[in-house]
Amino acid sequence: MDALNPDRPSPDHQADDDADLMFLGVERQAEFVRTGKLTSRALVDAALRRIARLDPALGAFRVVMAEQARAEADARDAERAEGPLHGVPVAVKDELDVAGQTTTFGSAAQRTPAAADSEAVRRLRAAGAVIVGKTAMPEFGQWPFTESAAYGHTRNPWDTTRTPGGSSGGSAAAVAAGLVGAALGGDGGGSLRIPAACCGLFGLKPQRGRVSTAPHPHLWYALGTVGPLTRTVRDCALLYDVLAGSAPTDRFPARPTATSWLRALETPPGRLRIGYCAEPAVPGVRPHPEHVRALLETVRALRELGHEVREVRPRLPDATAAFVAQFCGGVRAEADTVERPDLLERRTRRTLALARLLPESAVERGVRAGERLAERADRMFATMDLLLTPVLAARPRPVGALDGAGLLTAVARSRPMVAWTALWNVTGHPAASVPAGHAADGLPLAVQLVGRRDDEPTLLRVAAQLETVRPWAHRRP
């Protein structure tokens, strides 16, 4: 099979060849374009063929920008290949502005196309990437299920009867199915890590402020971050090398890292102190036995890699009050920008009714409370380098988790999905979902690694070690 020649006339191998190209990942795709083994147009055409063939069953994309992407690919082929993503097709979650496209936030209530790219998308294009489309999300990213009244359900490529998680579920489904090699998402309570866990991807929520949220000063106040979903740790590091850096308008800038993220992977982490814990910060939630098994198998793998790993009981603080205040403030701020508030989902209108009872001073108190929780977490990391936990309590639910559900029901169904993730949005610490095999139901398993503030490099190095001893990227749905 000649995966480097997707435009050859034989139709019998076309689908397989397109799949081989898309599952290469963005680093190798960029290398093929840079060395002349492949044109950007051929790569983009392969992505668009797979989207046309597979996405009707997945619902990963809200809009596919086929003609714009082909024109952009032709322009890349006419240029000298210099950027680290030159000619590579990527997708963008529908909460980030892409010039000429409406930023819907998963809602029917917004109609006017964005005049310019968001800062994150601008940096992708500056690195040579080709934007092929915008991916689906629940309305305003409120839920860990990618379902909306306006755009329907997004499905998990490993089992299309199950959810891919959310809120960046469209981006996760697109990467897991090999429609693109990488896609941008956002994480305000687990929205990168949850779909990464559901879909078998690597998803790192970086330190708060690591990636600019411009043109907006923040994403759900101190909760939200922007980042990629990828199949490999190296692809994630490459994307963050492109994306990292603050803009003058950002309210929460991060301290710059000392070296490039890819270069950081060249240095072994050494022997680290890693604590593990299966107790969530959310009371009344218990982890599924398969998730406990994945946690303990990861403990064994880390010990075999030479790390000091011990069980800890860190008494993780309940961050509900700080989270809810910023969640309500963030949804309110996004909803205030829409043109047709009458078209918002009924659940969202209930959220807004509660949010409008909350004064801005209460939201700011939530931000300050989160900083106090971050200081408590910092004391925990005085005795360990990383914390290992589950990502999810429950297995991915059947599609339709939000069908007919009111606000309280949706909240109840969401709690097992965010039990280990939302705390680290409140504190701002970096945290990653790392693949950990597959469960008896055929769906992926994952564990979460949490690092000290501004210490993504250590987290990446350990994730790369785990990827080496149990490679996950070769597995396809």
The residues, ordered by sequence, that sit 6+ positions from 412 with a Cβ below 8 Å of its Cβ are none
Residue whose token pair is 């190296």: 234
> CA separation (Å) from 113 to 120, 186, 214?
17, 20, 17
For 109-130, give one letter per residue: b (16+ CB within 10 A) or e. bbeeebeebbbbbbbbbebbbb
Give the Cα separation of 471 and 413 in Å (integer).
32
Helices 407-418 and 346-355, axial angle in degrees (round to 10): 80
Q: Which of 107, 118, 148, 191 is catalytic?
A: 191
Are 163 and 151 contacting, i.e. CB atoms less than 8 angstroms apart?
no
Q: Which of 40, 93, 171, 414 is catalytic?
A: 93
Give the Cα separation of 167 and 98 in Å (integer).
18
Q: Are strands 89-93 and 182-187 parallel, antiparallel or unpaired?
A: parallel
Residue whose token pair is 């309280």: 408
Taking the CA of residue 414 as centre, how many other CA atoms within 13 Å lie in the half-sphere pointing to its CB? 24
Is 134 part of the annotated catalytic residue set?
Answer: no
Is 167 part of the annotated catalytic residue set?
Answer: yes
Are 361 and 326 contacting, i.e. CB atoms less than 8 angstroms apart?
no
Q: Which of 118, 148, 167, 414 is catalytic?
A: 167
Is 191 part of the annotated catalytic residue set?
Answer: yes
Tokens of 386: 């990383």
Distance of alpha carbon 162 from the chain centroid: 18
Looking at the annotation, which residues are catalytic? 93, 167, 191
